[in-house]
Structure 1
């Protein structure tokens, strides 16, 4: 790839092309909303159908490519990412709004995910052993599914597609990448990097447009064998319903309402720092963001004062400005939704301690900026206590003791991430066992993760096998059982007319 002069087109059957509709949509800079960055194709089901057919045609040859060759392509991908790291970060920041430093962290996390999943892909071993009957070799082998679609969110537009696509491709599947409408240029970069790394024509397709308009082509098409999706619970549920008609496998990573519990014996300074990192990094727009701070009454006043003091130090600004410590939210629609949540919280009686407004003065008034916001004295009757907001809002809830904190932490429809700060090892272990989430933490902020462990949620936060870890590639595979007996020693497995369960399963 010589430059990032964007094509702003779909990539179907090895060619960059416009939509058959000839329609486009605008992509704007959240930091300066009047700035139109790109116009991408507003694709139709006809475009996705072409992409599916191309991916289907490429499947037979790609699944037969040796693992050594697949891994060579992926490792070349790593080299290209490192080579273009700074340029990629600029594109993420311009489309998403996050700080350049946060974009660089996203890229580095993507590299860790990529390298780990390449290793998992190289270890696609089945099992082998003697059968119960004797004289029969029983073993299994891993096989790809076919064509998969990857539907990507705007909050981590570079990391998430690699977390999904690398295991899918290493397993031998072909794929269709559908980026979020706010960040299609990042998706184009991912596609072009794969192309430059040597991925054969047809193995990866790239289609932009409205998720609602493309859902039937991305989910319900009979040649789509699996859908991996990250986004809202509402959309994830719709995908699950649509996929059920064709028994299409789904992997759904959805919303969260993640608690950080602070007990009286905790390191209050460390807990306050973790709360601010979890609540306001990426402007609060990550699935594992700390949305609720649940604290024992005896240390609540001290902790809340520290959180507010630390949050006041955050400097709102354009993500390209190195002095900024929090960027804009990702677009006007996102900004309106967050402000509505703030209005509702005030109306329902939550105590506003910090922020609570969009920036209306100076250069920042031209962007989608929302002040870091802290509400205190939040109770379970309030919407802010249970609804996912996906913005820079922290809801503080005060409790009498650990038991009340755990009950409150679990008392939401979501179950993605949680954290507890305490020096009591018994309570820490109890929390990790009883917190109803897919990933939990002790004395670490709620968004921390590493690629060797699975990533997915309980309850309304996740459905299907989780991403990452060993499950990352398992989602994209079937396991076939094989029984082998030499032909020159063939005898009936059963010596009588009575058929056993063992030979009929």
Structure 2
């Protein structure tokens, strides 16, 4: 970033991908406020039709968008394609969710007239997007917000502005009225200005707990501004004895190392029963060594690409060494094969004997292993965190899973499935430092419109039956 120019680089190659000027928040908010009444006044069906045209534009640009996502984030092309698919799928899911979660209701009560429940949009919504899913995750806020009748100011991550611009270009071709959806290029300063702006009615955020807490603190004295925080996790995956230990290892790999560990739902802590430890490690460690880490466009396709930049890679390497110094035992050393590029090989470290394990989200391919004697100890260890996004149990019986489900504090709890890969057809969110009880995905409709209760009659009808003088 130089002066008022933002520059984006490809993590895998270091090549410049995009550059552009920072946006003007005040001017964008002013345009959005002028655009909102007309957009909100449109029939719901008209807004849905615009969203469907947007989906068609994304389909048309599918490969171009996938290439851009892969280049700017470093994720493999196969994964970037699934992200574009998710952007398209979000429209039908959001239409269904809006009808189900915010549909109109009317109740007749004879002489008392009728009662109704309808929903209204909030107004101007600021969407602050992350770099790990630069199209899918902000789109998951934007589509429900727009269908509900809000207008959107989208600030992409300063690390992925090119994808953000391409997404908005699809909106601009969809027939949406001018300034219904705007992009604001910038870094933390623009983000802070959007959050604090009196012309913004809601803040829909996806990102780190640190940034989410700062937003929450900034708006603590302003209850009139809606805030939906979708933050990270220190997510546990608990493994019990199972006859399918190779499958269990594959689920651990998928949970911890997909997207180079750069998912908020990625497994950060592998909690293993002592009885299953040796058998699991015999499968897990050789499998992790075989993972291809490489350029997103390489053939054969890699399992994972680089992390987002060298600062992130160096921070993760330092974290691995810090865990070793504090008493961790390296099971698989994290390496940085190219000193100039942010590629990292998976790191697995046994931290069972560490007296004080740090309760932080290490956002990358770094997995801590903790041994426990039984499931109850595993549940206690899984809950030993301020976060509460995702958790999974591998192995065990239906009764074991019932106990696990009942006692784990998390918004996503899976059995014999990875911690990540959540469905957009279900609510998505966590508790503690992972969210503020406003789950996204299918339940995004809940925070994009507010309910209004009405009692109504065609003509005034009333009398005062008591307390009047003769």
Band the TM-score falls in, shorter-chain normalisation: over 0.9
**In the TM superposition, what are the counterparts of 1:318-337 in structure 2 within 5 Å?**
318-323=295-300, 324-337=302-315
1:486 corresponds to which of 452, 458, 462: 458
**In the TM superposition, what are the counterparts of 1:85-484 in structure 2 within 5 Å?**
85-122=62-99, 124-131=102-109, 134-211=111-188, 213-247=189-223, 248-265=225-242, 267-323=244-300, 324-360=302-338, 365-379=339-353, 381-383=355-357, 386-469=359-442, 471-484=443-456
- Quote the Cα distance in structure 1 between the aligned partners of 2:353 and 2:390: 20
Q: 1:105 to 1:79 in 2, by over 3 A?
A: same
- The alignment status of 1:39 with 2:13, answered yes or no, reads no
Residue deviations 1:230-249 (CA, integer Å, cap 9, x gap) = 11111101101112233211
Contact 1:261 1:421 in 2 (8 A): yes
- Quote the Cα distance in structure 1 between the aligned partners of 2:283 and 2:467: 79
- Quote the Cα distance in structure 1 between the aligned partners of 2:419 and 2:349: 19
- TM-score where L is the length of structure 1: 0.89
| CA RMSD across the alignment | 1.9
- The alignment status of 1:496 with 2:466, answered yes or no, reads yes
Contact 2:17 2:162 in 1 (8 A): no
Deviation (angstroms), 1:217:
2.4
Q: 1:122 to 1:192 in 2, by over 3 A?
A: farther
Deviation (angstroms), 1:93:
1.0
Helix, strand or coil for the counterpart of 1:463?
Answer: coil
Helix, strand or coil for the counterpart of 2:287?
Answer: helix
Residue deviations 1:105-150 (CA, integer Å, cap 9, x gap) = 112222222320023335542221145x942211121110000100
Deviation (angstroms), 1:496:
2.5
> Which sections of structure 1, spanning at least 5 residues, go unmatched?
1-20, 499-505
Contact 1:318 1:328 in 2 (8 A): yes
- TM-score where L is the length of structure 2: 0.95
- Quote the Cα distance in structure 2 between the aligned partners of 1:482 and 1:376: 59
> Which sections of structure 2, spanning at least 5 residues, go unmatched?
none
- Quote the Cα distance in structure 2 between the aligned partners of 1:166 and 1:146: 14
Contact 2:113 2:457 in 1 (8 A): yes
- Quote the Cα distance in structure 2 between the aligned partners of 1:136 and 1:94: 60
Helix, strand or coil for the counterpart of 2:428?
Answer: coil
Deviation (angstroms), 1:497:
4.1
Moved more, 48-57 or 119-128: 119-128
Contact 1:420 1:441 in 2 (8 A): yes
- Quote the Cα distance in structure 1 between the aligned partners of 2:195 and 2:465: 48
Contact 1:414 1:458 in 2 (8 A): yes
Deviation (angstroms), 1:349:
1.4
Q: 1:90 to 1:379 in 2, by over 3 A?
A: farther
Helix, strand or coil for the counterpart of 2:75?
Answer: coil
Helix, strand or coil for the counterpart of 2:441?
Answer: coil
Deviation (angstroms), 1:279:
0.9
Residue deviations 1:374-406 (CA, integer Å, cap 9, x gap) = 11243463445x221010011111110000000
Residue deviations 1:167-225 (CA, integer Å, cap 9, x gap) = 000000011000001100110011011111111101111011112x1244211111211
- Quote the Cα distance in structure 2 between the aligned partners of 1:459 and 1:379: 26
| Count, aligned residues | 465
